[in-house]
Chains A and B, each alone.
Chain A
Amino acid sequence: MTMTHHNHDPEKCRWMFERLSEYIDNELDEVTCKDIEHHAEDCIPCQVCLGTLKRTIALCKEMGSTPVPEDISTRLRALVQSIS
């Protein structure tokens, strides 16, 4: 996916970098969100940072579960019986 024109402003990039998670989690006020979006529109490295961090979070959410081994369930049942 090729992106738009690169407008690199190190200070602004750093400012955005510090807030990426809060931005993704919708924990920032509207003005700050708009500011981030405005900066990201022209800054390819920040778009990449945002995109790869979003994907990291999405992959974490998709991490599969391991079924509880039968013997552990059996021991838990015995534990419950011993105390109830």
Chain B
Amino acid sequence: MPKKSKQRKKQDKDAELIEAINSGQHSLYYDLVKRYEGMLYNFGLRICRDSQDAEDLVQETFLNVFKYLKGFRYETKFKNWLYKIASRVCIKKRRKSKFAPDRELSLDEFQPSEEAHAVTELPDWASAPLEKLLNNELSETLKNATLSLPEKYRVVILLRDMEGFSTEETAQILNVTPANVKVRLHRGRLFLREKLKEYYDDDTSQP
């Protein structure tokens, strides 16, 4: 194993469990599933449109993990590898379906208009304490807004802003360049910001 991989193995909180599984204790697979099923299921819910697809994504991802775990060489953290597999499952599913190709988001569509330059203050939803904003309705709005993002932007938002991966890690998971991740992330965030603006503009009961 290369020195870098050895280092990564040392730092990977899943290494011990993976070692045990790979040395023949297959009953421990379920411990690995328990560790990640919640995260993956929520990733699935946010990337797919219904819970059945999310469940399929979790199942297919774990099946692939079991199939290839023996060959896992710590070229990345286990969690990152898991998400790489999940993202591939997702892309494969999308290719099989008859969805229209992803729409491109351009920066120009989010550039503030000249009227927006008349603003004099930060809106309440951006200045109020965060905990005052959080409620089920907002959560639902944000979930729907995320689902309405074209998939290639959505997956980047999920990995970077919801799952907490870095730009470099996200690029590795999706097999794209870090520059590409940054472009998609910025446009995806601007798209969500517009949706939040619309939501709060329509809402008369601002915090």
Contact = CB atoms under 8 A, between A and B. Distances in A.
A79 B63 contact: yes
B17 interface: no
A49 interface: yes
Contacts of A31: none
Contacts of A51: 122, 126-127
Contacts of B37: 68, 72-73, 76
A59 B146 CA distance: 12
A65 B38 contact: yes
Interface string B109-143: 00110001101111101110010011000110011
Contacts of B134: 59, 62
B161 A48 contact: no
Given A22-B182, A51-B127, A68 B41 contact: yes
Interface in B19-73: 26-27, 29-30, 33, 37-38, 41-42, 45-46, 51, 55, 58-59, 62-63, 66
B182 A27 contact: yes
Given A3-B121, A20-B186, A52 B193 contact: yes
B31 to A, nearest CB: 10
B189 interface: yes
A60 B122 contact: no
Interface of B: 26-27, 29-30, 33, 37-38, 41-42, 45-46, 51, 55, 58-59, 62-63, 66, 107, 111-112, 116-117, 119-123, 125-127, 130, 133-134, 138-139, 142-143, 146, 157, 161-162, 164, 167, 182, 185-186, 189-190, 192-193, 196-197
Given A8-B117, A66-B45, A76-B33, 20 more contacts: A6-B117, A14-B111, A18-B107, A21-B182, A22-B186, A45-B117, A47-B122, A48-B122, A51-B127, A52-B123, A53-B189, A61-B162, A65-B42, A72-B37, A76-B30, A76-B59, A79-B62, A80-B30, A83-B63, A84-B27
